Amino acid sequence: MDAQNDVHRGEFTWKISYFTEQDAKKLYSEAFTVSGCKWRIVVYPKGNATSHLSLYLDVPDSGTLPNGWTRNAKFSLSVIDQINDVRSIRMETQHDFTARVRDWGFTSFIPLTELHNHTGGYLANDALVIKAEVCVLTVTPPVNIQPVRPTDKFDSYFTGLEEFVNAAETNGLNVGSTSRHQDGALTAEVPSLEEVEKAKQSLKECLSDLFKLNMKERLSEALSTLRSARTGLSSEQQIAIETFQANFNDFTSDFLAFEQDNAEFELHKLQKDQRFSAMKKSQETHILYKQLMDDLAKEEEELKKKMGEVKSRRDKLLSDWEILLVESEEAKSGYKDEQKKVAEAEEKKRIAEERMSRSTTAWSNLKAQFC
């Protein structure tokens, strides 16, 4: 595991402070990523049913991976001697990680007596240092590393919210229908004014308004009066009165319990409707935000396009400049050559002029002697 630039290889160092004070049976490191796969170290401070320190490599996101996933990896785990690195202990193995066997490692890594030996450096300042080196050989299915858009979580949450709102609307309609049916059944149990005699009006009022203040006492008095009556009541009425009075406390408690439960139901129903309204408002705001996000995405695409055009123009300008640079260097070099040649020609011209001057003087003298 010495290829530092291989994306399929990686290492992670975990320092556990106050190691001897740890009470947990096992400890987990934070997750780290190698070749697009998440890993973490698992340590049993007091050993996994053994008198040795136990170390394992684990797949932390096993539950979210596709069915049938596998990872074949070669890895090593090391306990670092922080005083003398030569005494560090390293063990290496290879394993096929699957949903059924998501962790693998070494149950008997180092004896606990040796680990806690004060002459060693494994627990310097009560800190344990563990190093993992991982080389991922094969992954099934292949990890497709895609850049995460800032709006992915945003869209995912509110898509779920939209489905939840739609389901709540459907359930709300069903619940309302059921409630109306139950209310109708309850009202049918209350006798109408046309079916009772005037002498039973007090009883009727009590039955209709049992939940009002002091109505329980009025009902009890009306039942006692009617029970003692010898006329004006049918045998069925007498039986009904006696039956009710015999179970008076239970019946009235049932009525009062129903009133309390019904009031609690109505309260929760009201609160549910308020929550639903808030949820709908959030959904509507999400739609607005999503539109703004889409508009920004379009602007971003336009800016990218414009940046591409600017980059193309810049590249063209740089290319033309490089050509100009070559031409400029050629002109400069040619100028220097010509400048040198001019100096040489000028010197030749000076020498030729001197010679011509001598020749002209001699010619004049000769001409003067004979002409």
Is 315 or 250 the better-scoring residue by pLDDT? Answer: 315
Instruction: Give the mean pLDDT of 43-68.
Output: 94
For residue 82, what pLDDT band results from cuts at 50, 70 and 90?
A: very high
Q: Is the pLDDT of residue 215 over 70?
A: no
Query: What's the CATH fold of domain 9-140?
Result: 2.60.210
pLDDT tens digits for range 159-172 = 554 555 555 554 44
Calpha distance 337→343 (Å, rounded): 10
Percent of the chain with pLDDT over 70: 72
pTM of the model: 0.41
Mean pLDDT computed over 283-289: 86
Q: For residue 256, what pLDDT is reported?
A: 67
The reported pLDDT for the residue numbered 176 is: 38
Domain positions in the chain are 9-140, 152-291
Helices 248-370 and 152-188, interaxial angle, to 10°?
160
